[in-house]
Amino acid sequence: MIEVFFQYDFLRYSLFTGVLIGILAPLTGVFIVVRRLSLLADALSHITLTGIAFSLLLGRYINFFAVLNPVYMGMIFAATGSLLIERLRHTYRFYRELAIPIILSSGIGIGVVFISLADGFTTDLFSYLFGSIAAISSTDFTVVLVLTTVVVAIFGLFYKELFFLSFDEEQAVISGIPRRSLHFLFILITAVVIGISMQIVGILLVSALMTLPVAAAMRLAASFKQMFFYSVVIGEVSVLAGIFAAFHLDVAPGGMIVVVNVLILLIVLAATSEKILNRKGG
Amino acid sequence: MEIFQQLTFLERGIAAGLLIGFISPLIGAFLLVRRMTIISEGLSHVTLTGITAGVLMMQTSAFFAFINPLYTGLLAALAGSLLIEKLRQVYKHFQELAIPIILSAGVGLSAVMISIAETGYTEWYAYLFGSILTVTLNDLLFIFLTGVLSMLIIGFFYKELLSISFDQEFASTSGISVRKINFLFTLLVALVISMSMKVVGILLVGALITLPVAAAILFAKSFRHVLFLGIIFGEAAVLGGIVSSYYLNVATGGMIVVTGIIILIGAAAVKKLLPEGFLSKEETV
């Protein structure tokens, strides 16, 4: 069952990329969830679609973009989108939560127009939306590997600062942590991780891989470090199960990954609900 | 009914669009003041699950062949709204997790079912991104009925909805059953999402609910103003979108959203250019 993944190059690269994503996405997800930014991940992933569509459209006219992986344009758009969100939060001082739905829906809307203009309503679009296991080339994999290393290194370097900011923002600012630049760095990382992950998981499902494992891990973990551990384990299990199922059952990998994730979450919720009752009773 | 039958497919699309342009901002205004606009995104993505399930059921069993996927979509949206409430209780300290969980679970399930169902991609794109050309007579009836139903609900419970939206505690002390009205309200949101979906597309329903009221609130002095301006902006976005998509040959839902964005940007620019205090003495919103 597993041998086939080592027989074919494209499957091997997808498998390796999947393993990396299974670490990266939940890792970023933990910070996203504890910083209460889980909706931001959704907004950024939707705006990544706009970037991809834009790149596809440019590819019809400019050779350079025809060969470039559209994912990079997606990442640029996601980073720009996050800046716009900050700006909108400023405009709607009294309705800050409006910023995310505005960006999210505008992202898809403009994306759809780009796709239409590029005559892009084809099978390819489906793999961008819901993931594919045939999309990874060896260069893509090298890029993913490098980016993963960079992201993990940044998390390692700034672990303390990010941890501090996530749990006690005021205290962190007082003790001299540059909140704005760290926040920006973090958003940038999120955009990159979304771009990497969407190649296998699909745009509409990237945020699932960032929030669902963390949501499950949260119920199990007794400490912040444990939360990382459980999220990554759950993330890996779901990604691998999803990729295998995608190949053998011929369904969208992103969909299977999320379904496995949802199942794990349901099991965890069922298993821990008794604990809550006990705690309430005691 | 006969009036509907005489319409051409394009007129059907426009009629459906006008109805939607009217009701979406209406709901959007309530969602805005309740700070729940994001729920429309969550529920619309869950509606997709219902629709894929409906299409799949239609294919696999003759018994379900008569099902219109719009109805299963509506059911899914309702189930989704109940689940969101339940999840909010489970994650008491991270309530904002409920919507991303439901949203992604909904899309994930749909992705799997889309892969299993052997329907052409074009049909799915019509559901995802909307198309006025595919509005059938039945769809128009569905949109009309759900539209009338939701307007009746809003008309009858306007006061209750308003008072809950602005001051939940006050509402409950003055004898309004918050639970019932909240349930009614989610029902309303689910109705509006499933009715708009055919024209605007699932992924874009949230835009039509949010963008017009986001533009309206820049000017509005009162809630009624938000409703009024929101509806004008909504209708303008729908009409502009339908007309431009027809001439540019671009997906309707996309153009509707782009028109909505242009309106929003225009509104923000006008607000900036106008001298401060031109619209109101005190800072309103």
Chain B residues whose CB is inside 8 A of the A204 CB are 45, 107, 111, 203
Nearest-10 crossing angle of helices A179-201, A203-220: 110
Rounded to an integer, the average pLDDT of B167-187 is 82
- Tell which wins on pLDDT, B177 or B65: B177
Say if the Cβ atoms of A269 and B90 lie within 8 Å.
yes
Nearest to B257 among A106, A129, A131 (CB): A106
Residue among A207, A204, A234, A205 at smallest CA distance from A218: A234
For the segment B116-136, what is each residue's pLDDT rounded down to a tens digit? Answer: 887 777 778 888 887 777 788
Chain B CA closest to residue A263: B105
Asked if B101 contacts B87 with a C-beta cutoff of 8 angstroms, the reply is yes
Judge contact between B132 and B10, C-beta under 8 A.
Answer: yes
Q: Residue B211 above 90 pLDDT?
A: yes
Q: Considering only A64-68, A72-76, B147-151, which range has the smallest mean pLDDT?
A: A64-68
Interchain pair A106, B206: CB under 8 A: no
Who's near B232: CB < 8 A, 6+ residues apart? Answer: none
Are the beta carbons of A108 and B203 separated by less than 8 Å? Answer: yes
Beta carbons of B258 and A211 less than 8 Å apart? no
pLDDT recorded at residue A280? 46
Mean pLDDT of B246-270: 89
pLDDT score recorded for residue B282: 46
Note whether B112 contacts A255, CB cutoff 8 Å. yes
Res A276 pLDDT > 70: no
Q: Which tops the pLDDT comparison, B121 or A229?
A: A229
Query: Which of A16, A74, A81 lies closest to A48 in space, CA to CA?
Result: A74
Query: Are A262 and B116 within 8 A, CB to CB?
Result: no
CB contact under 8 A, A100 and B38: yes
- Which residues 195-234 of A are in CB contact (within 8 Å) with B? 202, 204-205, 207-208, 211-212, 215, 218
Closest partner CB to A109 (pick from B41, B258, B285): B258
Residue ranges of E strands in chain A: none
Give me the amino acid identity at B171: A
pLDDT at residue B216 tops 90: yes
Structural domain count of chain B: 1
The string of pLDDT tens digits covering residues A143-195 is: 889 999 999 999 999 888 888 888 787 888 888 888 888 888 888 899 889 98
CA distance A151 to chain B (A): 23
Nearest CA in chain B to A246: B112
Terminal C-alpha separation, chain A: 48
Question: Which H or E element spans position B241?
Answer: helix B223-248
Residues A45 and A51: their CA atoms lie apart, in Å, by 10
For B129, the closest of A33, A112, A265 (CB atoms) is A112
Q: How confident is the model at residue A62 (pLDDT cuts 50, 70, 90)?
A: confident
Nearest CA among A228, A264, A253, A250 for reference residue A23? A228
* CB–CB contact A252 B111 (8 Å): yes
Residue B231 lies in a domain: no
pLDDT in tens, A10-34: 778 888 889 999 999 999 999 988 8
Predicted confidence band at B283 (pLDDT cuts at 50, 70, 90)? very low
Distance in angstroms (rounded) separating the CA atoms of residues B235 and B221: 20
* A42 close to B (CB below 8 A): yes
Which of B92-101, B115-124, B176-185, B210-219 shows the lowest per-residue confidence on average (mean pLDDT)?
B115-124
Q: pLDDT tens digit string along A243-275?
A: 888 888 888 888 889 999 999 999 998 888 765
The tokens of A46 are what? 């939707």
**Rounded to 5, what percent of chain A is helix, strand, coil?**
85, 0, 15
Which residue in chain A has the smallest CA separation from B269? A91
Contact state of A116 with B251 under an 8 Å Cβ cutoff: yes
User: What is the structure's pLDDT at A88?
Assistant: 86
- Chain A to chain B Cβ contacts (< 8 Å): 181
Hey, how many other C-beta atoms are within 10 angstroms of the C-beta on B138? 11
pLDDT > 90: percent of chain B: 16
ipTM: 0.82
Reply yes or no on domain A8-208 having CATH 1.10.3470.10.
yes
- Is there a contact between A60 and A240 (Cβ–Cβ < 8 Å)? no
Sequence letter at residue A79:
A
> What are the sequence ranges of the domains in chain A?
8-208
Asked if residue B173 is part of any domain, the answer here is yes
Residue for token pair 């976005």: B237
Chain B partners of A212 at a C-beta cutoff of 8 Å?
A: 101, 104-105
Whether the pLDDT of residue B235 is over 70: the answer is yes
A255 inside 8 A of chain B by CB: yes
* A62 Cβ contact list (under 8 Å, min separation 6): none
Query: CB–CB of A214/A207 below 8 Å?
Result: no
User: pLDDT category, A279, cuts 50, 70, 90?
Assistant: low
d(CA B253, CA A55): 20
Token pair for A8: 């074919």
Q: Give the closest-approach CA distance of A164 to chain B in angstroms.
A: 18
3-state secondary structure A240-274: HHHHHHHHHHCCCHHHHHHHHHHHHHHHHHHHHHH
Q: Is the pLDDT of residue B1 over 60?
A: no
CB atoms inside a 10 Å sphere around CB B137 = 13
- Is B154 within a domain? yes
Q: Is B218 exposed, middle or buried (0-12, 13-18, 19+ CB in 10 A)?
A: buried
Closest by Cα among B257, B208, B199 to B40: B208
Q: Is A109 in Cβ contact with B207 (below 8 Å)?
A: yes
What value does the mean pLDDT of chain A take?
Answer: 85
CATH number at residue B156: 1.10.3470.10
Is residue B97 in a domain? yes
Written as six digits, the tokens of A251 are 């369904």
Tell me the two tokens of residue B216: 């309206």
Q: What is the pLDDT of residues B75-103, one digit of tens each?
A: 898 899 888 888 888 888 887 888 888 88
What is the 3 state secondary structure string of A184-231?
HHHHHHHHHHHHHHHHHHCHHHHHHHHHHHHHHHHHHCCCHHHHHHHH
Q: Give the C-alpha distances (Å, rounded to integers) separating A93 from A146, A168, A190, B96, B117.
A: 39, 23, 24, 20, 45
Q: Is the Cβ pair A94, B285 closer than 8 Å?
A: yes
Q: Which of A105-119, B47-61, B108-122, B227-241 has the lowest mean pLDDT?
A: B108-122
Predicted pLDDT at A160: 87
Q: In angstroms, rounded to a whole number, what is the distance separating the alpha carbons of residues B248 and B239? A: 14
Residue B278 pLDDT class (50, 70, 90 cuts): low
Express each pLDDT in A78-137 by its tens digit: 989 988 888 888 888 778 788 888 998 899 889 888 888 887 777 778 888 888 877 677
A144-149 contact pairs (CB < 8 A, 24+): A144/A17, A144/A20, A144/A21, A144/A196, A144/A199, A145/A16, A145/A20, A147/A192, A147/A196, A148/A20, A148/A23, A148/A24, A148/A196
Range of the domain at B101: 2-203
- How confident is the model at residue A273, as a pLDDT? 76
Q: Which of A270, A269, A266, A250 is nearest to A258 (CA)?
A: A266
* Helix, coil or strand: residue B226: helix
CA-CA distance, A21 to B107, in Å (whole number)?
Answer: 19
Kindly state whether residue B57 falls inside one of the protein's structural domains.
Answer: yes
Q: Mark yes or no for CB contact A95/B100 under 8 Å.
A: no
Is B261 inside any structural domain?
no
Span B212-229, mean pLDDT?
A: 90
| CB contacts, 8 Å: A129 with chain B | 111, 128
